[in-house]
């Protein structure tokens, strides 16, 4: 009997624990959602793409503008902590942050405010109560864009403006380089890192330095369209990131396509789960199949024959028949990093081992 009582007591404690971790449903009219952005909502870059997803989420769920709060141009330091405090004071039940360097501040805030849900874009930190992260297989779209770049270059020199020298950036760069190699094994990629996610002036200067090295096509993993502007001014071509550049806008004449995001694919489900009381601290990682990432439509500047190759590669990735990091793959130090027949599914854990660069990449 004592043993049965002990078992029942343990079961009660478990159930209480589970209940304590659950979030109650929130009446939609009482819902408040917060966003912290690394850039400006109209930067035509990463934050712009995120904000477009925010607006789509609002429209889809029927949220009023008075229910959604955002803080723009928040640096990856104590300013993030201040922004979190402000949004909590506003009564936000869930707070999103869109930059890698926010994760430490989100982790601390999640521990201090268990009643609030924290959802962080990229990074690898999370907990099992009120803090998750979300990201996507942008490397799949970057591979497709590499096909365009590899077919377009005449000099066989492609420049790449990287932001941080870390696994997130290098994973996308390697995927881009694999796309280039699939159609042009003679092309070389020069990468220069800015050391910052968002710097209008530095991004353009870095692009210009790559053009000075003889690159006639540029790719990028940085938050603004300034590399495309630099390419246009030099009569070169480029692969953008995050947003479509429309005809007449700076950089359009150089712009051929871009890996882009539809963040509403994540934001709608996350916010709806808060309304329903079904939110769980589960990390989200979507790709081409789920519609979180895609390649923007090609412009007239894109090379002939690119679309057919893009369609074929997309079909294989969406079906699961094949993925980008399938061996054999050799790094630029001569090491076989992925063996023949092996596939590495790059995921949301950016603390991963993607520290190498492909054998057609040279850091400058």
Q: Could you read off the pLDDT of 163-195 as tens digits, one per residue?
A: 999 888 999 999 999 999 999 999 999 999 999
Instruction: Kindly report, residue by residue over 12-36, the tens digit of the pLDDT.
Output: 333 333 334 579 999 999 999 999 9
pLDDT score recorded for residue 73: 95
Condensed to tens digits (0 to 9), the pLDDT of residues 87-118 reads 999 999 999 999 989 999 999 999 999 999 99
Report d(CA 106, CA 117) in Å as an integer: 10
Which residues, 6+ apart, have CB-to-CB distance to 282 below 8 Å?
132
Distance CA 95, CA 110 (A): 10
pLDDT digits (tens, 9 = 90+) for 207-256: 999 999 999 999 999 988 999 999 999 999 999 999 899 999 999 999 99
Q: How many CB atoms lie within 10 A of CB 115?
A: 8
Q: How far apart are CA 302 and CA 307, in angstroms?
A: 9
What pLDDT is recorded for position 354?
A: 82
Identify the residue with better confidence: 346 or 150.
Answer: 150
Q: Under 8 Å CB-to-CB from 232, ≥6 apart: which residues?
A: 238, 250, 251, 252, 253, 254, 255
Nearest partner of 117 among 52, 14, 13, 35, judged by Cα: 35
User: Which of 10-14, 120-124, 280-284 shows the highest mean pLDDT?
Assistant: 280-284
CA dihedral of residues 197, 48, 103, 351 (deg, nearest 10): -60
Q: Higher-confidence residue: 67 or 43?
A: 67
pLDDT confidence bin for 264, thresholds 50/70/90? very high
- The pLDDT assigned to 138 comes to 94
Q: What is the pLDDT of residue 122?
A: 86
What tokens does 62 get? 């029927």
5: confidence class by pLDDT, cuts 50, 70, 90? very low
Helix (H) or strand (E) holding 34: strand 33-36
Pairing state between β 255-257 and 284-286: unpaired
How many CB atoms within 10 Å of residue 101?
A: 16
- pLDDT on residue 13: 36
What's the chain's Rg over C-alpha atoms? 22
**What is the distance between the alpha carbons of residues 231 and 207, in angstroms, rounded to a whole number?**
7
For residue 315, give both structure tokens: 């079909």
What pTM value is reported for the model? Answer: 0.87
Helices (H), the chain: 2-21, 46-61, 78-89, 103-112, 138-152, 167-183, 200-212, 226-234, 264-276, 306-319
**pLDDT higher than 50, residue 127:** yes
Asked if 202 contacts 181 with a C-beta cutoff of 8 angstroms, the reply is: no
* Omega before residue 239 within 30° of 0, cis: no
- pLDDT per position as a tens digit, 129-173: 999 999 999 999 999 999 999 999 999 999 999 999 988 899 999
The pLDDT tens digits of the residues spanning 198-209 come to 899 999 999 999
User: 3-state DSSP call for residue 97?
Assistant: strand
301 has a pLDDT exceeding 50? yes
Q: Are strands 329-330 and 237-239 parallel, antiparallel or unpaired?
A: unpaired
Mean pLDDT over each residue of the chain, to the nearest integer: 92
Query: What are the CB-based long-range contacts (under 8 Å, 24+) for 15-18?
Result: none
- Among the listed residues 237, 245, 247, the one whose alpha carbon sits nearest the alpha carbon of residue 303: 237
How confident is the model at residue 45, as a pLDDT? 85
């Amino acid at each position: 009997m004592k043993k049965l009582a002990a078992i029942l007591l343990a079961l009660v404690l478990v159930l209480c624990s589970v209940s304590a971790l659950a979030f109650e449903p929130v009446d939609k009219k009482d819902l408040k959602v917060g966003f912290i952005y690394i850039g400006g909502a109209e930067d035509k870059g990463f934050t712009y793409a995120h904000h477009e997803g925010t607006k789509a989420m609002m429209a889809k769920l029927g949220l009023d503008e008075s229910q959604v709060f955002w803080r723009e141009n928040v640096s990856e330091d104590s300013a993030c902590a201040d922004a979190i405090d402000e949004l909590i004071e506003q009564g936000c039940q869930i707070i999103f942050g869109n930059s890698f360097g926010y994760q430490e501040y989100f982790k601390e805030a999640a521990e201090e405010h268990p009643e609030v849900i924290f959802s962080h874009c990229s990074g690898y930190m999370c907990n099992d109560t009120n803090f998750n992260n979300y990201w996507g297989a942008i490397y799949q779209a970057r591979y497709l864009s590499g096909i365009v770049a590899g077919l377009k270059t005449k000099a066989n020199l492609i420049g790449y403006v990287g932001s941080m020298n870390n696994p997130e950036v290098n994973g996308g760069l390697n995927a881009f380089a694999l796309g280039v190699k699939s159609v042009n094994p003679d092309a070389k990629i020069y990468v220069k890192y800015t050391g910052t996610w968002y710097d209008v002036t530095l991004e353009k200067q870095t692009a210009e330095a790559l053009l000075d090295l003889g690159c006639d096509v540029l790719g990028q993993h940085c938050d603004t369209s300034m590399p495309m502007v630099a390419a246009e001014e030099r009569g070169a071509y480029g692969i953008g990131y995050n947003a479509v550049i429309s005809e007449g806008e700076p950089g359009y004449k150089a712009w051929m396509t871009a890996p882009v995001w539809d963040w509403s694919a994540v934001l709608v489900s996350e916010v709806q789960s808060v309304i329903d009381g079904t939110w769980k601290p589960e990390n989200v990682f979507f790709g081409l199949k789920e519609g979180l990432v895609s390649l923007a439509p090609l412009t007239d500047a894109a090379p002939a024959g690119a679309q057919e190759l893009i369609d074929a590669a997309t079909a294989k990735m969406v079906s699961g028949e094949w993925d980008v990091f399938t061996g054999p793959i050799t790094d630029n130090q001569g090491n076989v990093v992925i063996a023949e027949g092996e596939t590495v599914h790059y995921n949301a854990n950016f603390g991963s081992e993607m520290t190498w660069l492909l054998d057609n990449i040279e850091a400058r």
